[in-house]
Amino acid sequence: MKHTRRLYVTLIALAMFLIFAYFYTGRADSQKQNAIPKVGILQLMSHPALDQINKGINDTLKKNGYVDGKNIKIEFQNAQNDQSNLRTISKQFVQDNVDVAVGIATPSVQSLKNATSKIPIVMGAVTDPEGAGIISNNKKPGKNITGVSDQAPLEAQLELMKQVIPNLKTIGIIYTSSDASATSQMKKMQKLAKKQGLNVKVSSINSVNDIQQVGTALAESVQTIYVPTDNTVASGMKLLSSIATKQNIAVFPAATTMVKDGGLATVGLSQYELGEETGKHVVRILEHKEDPATTPVTFMKKGHLMLNEKMAKKLNIQFSDSLIKEAQKKGQILK
């Protein structure tokens, strides 16, 4: 009799457990289905180029029907160029279990990579993902990271410098030594310029505070200055432009946003379009059509000619008619 009673108690307990498990699992599944996706966006710092990338990402999400607070939660964080902030925010995204994490600029992506190997990560503007050790292969990343490169059209930029500066023989390059993307681009431009018989003088900085001293020394010894896609120099572009102008030399930056801050001209990538391409990766991942491991990195091919006419007047430089016509047709002239 006791054994029978124990059997009844066991069966009842088992039945109650199964009923609870069924309803709990069903409710969890329902909650998961009804939960809106979360996207974490980590931006290294504030300056026009990175801000434009972020705007492009958000606009693309909206164009594809994702409205923040309605059917998606976008968690935007700015690390203010602080490594400690990068680590803290990256860990927070993991704790919040975001569906996709976006890193704007190389250090942001590196920090996200260190924080998770499971959550999909989309690179927003990493010049050399493979060279920076973020992924193993640009065509087949292999793990949880893919996205967009902001590798500038260096050949076109060098040709522009030669067109604008008569008898160009010496180019100066200023970059941030700790910036992997800027370092990679500096080396490529240096190699390209030397191959064309030009002398190249390279100067590096550690922070924006170094621009005054390093920029002044460089401007005194070259005919023009080239700036790669460099977040630190970009944040101090107005200062660098002022220093160069005093020596009556031009600054040719890689990014169009830096022309607006005092550069003379460039054939550069649109930062907004880089953001749009980054946003498209996010959308495809959210809709389960894209696996970062097998998705090639997107390289932008179309450069935009941008001329700063106001700066040209300060430097007594005259743009050729052909350059002006090209900028009017396919690019932009700042007056």
pLDDT digits (tens, 9 = 90+) for 82-131: 999 999 999 999 999 999 999 999 999 999 999 999 999 999 989 889 98
Is 96 inside any structural domain? yes
Number of domain units in the chain = 2
pLDDT band at 10; cut points 50, 70, 90: low
Single out the residue of 62, 34, 45 nearest to residue 105, CA to CA: 45
Is 102 inside any structural domain? yes
Of residues 11 and 37, more confidence is placed in 37
Q: Are residues 288 and 327 in the same domain?
A: no
Q: Residue 35: its pLDDT value, please?
A: 82
Is 18 inside any structural domain? no
Q: Are residues 101 and 134 in the same domain?
A: yes
Q: Are residues 225 and 139 in the same domain?
A: no
Q: Residue 294: its pLDDT value, please?
A: 96
Is 199 inside any structural domain? yes
Q: Is the pLDDT of residue 14 over 70?
A: no
pLDDT band at 156; cut points 50, 70, 90: very high
User: Mind listing the pLDDT tens digit for each residue in 19-44?
Assistant: 555 544 444 443 444 489 999 999 99
Q: Is the pLDDT of residue 165 over 90?
A: yes
Give the whole-angstrom CA distance, residue 232 versus residue 330: 29
Q: Are residues 124 and 218 in the same domain?
A: no
Give the whole-angstrom CA distance, residue 279 versus residue 273: 10
Q: Are residues 282 and 260 in the same domain?
A: no
Is 197 inside any structural domain? yes
Q: Are residues 118 and 161 in the same domain?
A: no
Mean pLDDT over the full length of the chain: 91
Q: Is the pLDDT of residue 79 over 80?
A: yes
Structure tokens belonging to residue 145: 């990271």
Q: What are 41's strand-pairing partners?
A: 76, 102
Note the pTM of the prediction, 2 decimals: 0.80
Question: What is the mean predicted confidence (pLDDT) over 231-241?
Answer: 95
Is 185 inside any structural domain? yes
Q: How far apart are the first and last CA of the chain?
A: 99
Question: What is the mean predicted confidence (pLDDT) over 206-235?
Answer: 96
Q: Are residues 204 and 327 in the same domain?
A: yes
Match 């008619």 to its residue by tokens. Answer: 321
* Span of 26-30, 46-50, 212-216 with lowest mean pLDDT: 26-30
Q: Is the pLDDT of residue 64 over 60?
A: yes
CATH number at residue 118: 3.40.50.2300
Q: Are residues 46 and 173 in the same domain?
A: no
Is 5 inside any structural domain? no
pLDDT band at 6; cut points 50, 70, 90: low
pLDDT band at 147; cut points 50, 70, 90: very high
Single out the residue of 181, 185, 46, 186 nearest to residue 106, CA to CA: 181
Q: Are residues 86 and 222 in the same domain?
A: no
- Per cent of the chain over pLDDT 90 is 81
Q: Are residues 95 and 54 in the same domain?
A: yes
Q: Are residues 207 and 279 in the same domain?
A: no
Domain that residue 223 falls in: 154-268+303-333
Is 12 inside any structural domain? no
pLDDT band at 181; cut points 50, 70, 90: confident
Q: Are residues 70 and 192 in the same domain?
A: no
